[in-house]
Structure 1
Amino acid sequence: MDIQAESTAADAPEWYRKAIAEDADTTGLTVDGTRVTVRSWGPVDADAAVVLVHGGSAHSHWWDHIAPMLGDDRRVVALDLSGHGDSDRRSAYSLDAWSEEVAAVCAMPGMPADPILVGHSMGGWVTLNCTIKHRDLVGGVVVIDSPIRELSPEEEAAADNRAFGPLKVYADREAALARFHPVPHQEHSLPYVLRHIAEKSLREVPGGWSWKFDPTMFGRKMPRPELLERVDVRVALFRAENGLVTPEIGDHMYTMLGRRAPVIELPLAGHHPMLDQPLPLIVALRTILADWEHSYPLGR
């Protein structure tokens, strides 16, 4: 889907315009010598918190229209993992390093205890790994369309040279925006959401404009499915109806998690539900968060 210049927030519904107009507090953390950008919404004295973790090659602005809609009584935090967005790059990337960055956000001064992690795609595996390494910091995790597979969709696209190769420099900003598309491709992404995320994905470089992500992050194997058997916090699995987590994969993940994690289908959604079905995603997240704030987790 090409992004046209006229596909702006002016075309969007009122709820979306109000959400992205909400200012986020921006700060940074240094984790293992690397500066990580952190953006926050909601009251600083909240009793509950949510940490949003993006997928591969994405960034915290993918959540700009989601975060403000998760409730006025919660602190909602989104970070740019290293090598993504406005965070610094590393000489090498790993699931463990990204998990430490999420843990550092959970441990920030003033952060409410037991935040709920929400991870999309590759970010789902980052959050699951974080819960294993830092059980004491995490109250639960919601995993959005993160399938059990050897490679993430971004990894597969990089390996096949379909995307994420050496970063091209575009002399014209609009030409760069027109080249933006999610991986994997999905048919019904909302143009005004794509436009906003594309604009936040670009940085000015000598000679023009280029993408913010570091393409050297690709080439890692995904964690083994057995990682799920080590997760000891409450979990909810969101599968997109037209995404990568098939009903069979969802059932398998449910079993490996001890048959205690609900598998919730997001109707009509592609792999990136914040792009094509943001309101069902928001409703599902708010429902899980409300339930978990008034219930006890079921052990294995």
Structure 2
Amino acid sequence: MSDGNFPNKTLGADEMPLARYDGEKPPAPDWFNWAIAQEASESSVEVDGAKIAYRCWGDTSKPGLLLAHGNGAHSRWWDFIAPFLTTDYYVVAPTFSGMGDSEWRDAYSFPVFNREQLAVSEHAGLFNHAEKPIIVSHSFGGIISLNTTISEGGEKFAGAVIVDSHLEPPGDERPRPPRRTRANRIYASFNDALARFRLAPPQPCDNHYIVDYIARHSITTMKGEDGEEGYSWKFDPFIFNSLMDEWNDVDLTGLETRCPIVFMRGGLSELVPDRVADYMCSLQDPPVPMITVPEAYHHVMLDQPLAFVSSIRGLLAGWPGRR
């Protein structure tokens, strides 16, 4: 469940693709099997009382690259992307609090998430290199990263690639999640939970092996109110209950970032259609570049993973100020 930013709707088979496999793993291509087999180290740092987990790939002597996931997701969303970027970068992927293997909080805020990005970057040594690190962020993670680039500490980064994050023109309604009052559902078996995994906002994704991989890393054991142990999702369902006011008030008009930024979107994304894309590009002068990945919906790295890698490689190779 990538982004819990949108109300549920009736889901078709394309939007819950794992049910048909009855717990078996879908066949995967060789490039994917190679990528997820690459070794990653794991560490954590405490930020405002919560343990923030992160994963690292590659050589620490290389310039840093920070990969930030979307809402309800986690660092394992980058397992099949990060190894292709280690030729030139030391890659670090944190998990925001309330998601994945990081700890939950009583309340969440954008400043807290910004401090998590800075703390992980510091703890992982990304600021130790002569070249400043670059951020690549997806969806809700992109909003966090934009806030990081305009806040104190933003100057520590060489830039940010913001992937399919949506900034609506003034007067447009901003999509938002429903206010949650109940905990995540608990399923009797791991396979029951796996079958119910979906992407949010709902969309088709032909690469079922990727959906299956991230789903398996999104499930944990949990006890219900009756004390019975079952399986549920790792993300805190109440994140946006405390974040809603800040989410409604996000206003990046006259976006003054402390480092260069580039936008990227899926060519089929419903969140960043042409009108929204044009507005986002106009937030700076000269306009912010917008890269469109064809045949990709909102979850660009799931829909077109190799095209996404090629796009990121090309952008980073010509990044302003990179030696």
The answer to whether the superposition gives a TM-score over 0.5 is yes
Deviation at 1:151, TM superposition (A): 7.6
2:107 equivalent to 1:92: yes
Structure 1 residue 222: Cα displacement: 4.5
Aligned mates of 2:289, 2:298 — CA distance in 1:
18
- 3-state SS in 1 of match to 2:294: strand
Alignment partner of 1:67 is 2:82: yes
Aligned with 2:192: secondary structure? helix
* Other-structure match for 1:277: 304
For 1:16 and 1:210, locate their aligned partners in 2 and report how far apart those are by CA, in whole Å.
Answer: 26
2:57 aligned partner, one-letter code: W
Of all paired residues, the percent bearing the same amino acid is: 35
In the alignment, structure 2 segments of 5+ residues that lack a partner are 1-15, 224-228
Q: CA deviation at 1:6?
A: 6.3
Report whether the alignment pairs 1:40 with 2:56. yes
Runs (5+) with no aligned partner, structure 1 = none
TM-score (norm. length: structure 2): 0.84
User: Following TM superposition, by how much is the alpha carbon of 1:296 offset from its aligned partner in structure 2, in angstroms?
Assistant: 3.5
CA RMSD between the two structures: 2.0
Q: Who is 1:187 aligned against?
A: 204
Pairing partner for 1:51 from 66, 83, 90: 66
The counterpart of 2:317, out of the listed 274, 280, 290, is: 290
Normalised to the residue count of structure 1, the TM-score between the two structures is 0.90
Match runs of 1:113-152 below 5 Å: 113-133=131-151, 134-149=153-168
Query: Residues 240 and 263 of structure 1: is their aligned pair in 2 closer, same or farther, counting only changes over 3 Å?
Result: same
Pairing of 1:133-282 with structure 2 (within 5 A):
133=151, 134-149=153-168, 155-156=176-177, 158-159=178-179, 166-206=183-223, 207-219=229-241, 220=244, 221-226=247-252, 229-243=255-269, 244-282=271-309
Q: Give, as a single letter, the amino acid of the residue that structure 2 aligns with 1:296.
A: G
Q: Give the counterpart letter for 1:236 in structure 2.
A: V
CA shift in 2, pair 1:151/1:40, >3 Å? farther
User: Does the aligned pair in 2 maintain the 1:86–1:212 contact within 8 Å?
Assistant: yes
User: Does residue 17 of the first structure (1) align with residue 53 of the second (2)?
Assistant: no
For residue 36 of structure 1, report the CA deviation from its aligned partner: 0.1
Asked whether the equivalents of residues 219 and 233 of structure 2 are also in contact (C-alpha less than 8 Å), the reply is: yes
Question: How many residues matched?
Answer: 288
Pick closer, same or farther for the CA change 1:283–1:151 going to 2, 3 Å.
Answer: farther
Structure with the bigger RCO (C-alpha within 8 Å, sep 6+) is 2
Checking the alignment, whether the CA contact within 8 Å between 1:204 and 1:210 is kept in structure 2 is yes
Alpha-carbon distance between aligned partners in 1 of 2:272 and 2:97, rounded to the nearest angstrom: 26
Question: Do the aligned partners of residues 69 and 227 (structure 1) sit closer, same or farther apart at CA in structure 2, a change above 3 Å counting?
Answer: farther
Conserved 8 A contact 1:119-1:127 = yes
Q: In 2 relative to 1, CA 20–228 (structure 1 residues): closer, same or farther, beyond 3 Å? A: farther
When structure 1 is superposed on structure 2, of 125-134 and 101-110 the one drifting more is 101-110
Tell me what 2:9 maps to: none
Identify if the C-alpha distance between structure 1 residues 141 and 151 changes in structure 2 by more than 3 Å, giving closer, same or farther: farther
Find the aligned partners of 2:213 and 2:317 in 1 and give their Cα distance.
29
List 4+ stretches of structure 1 deviating above 6 A.
none
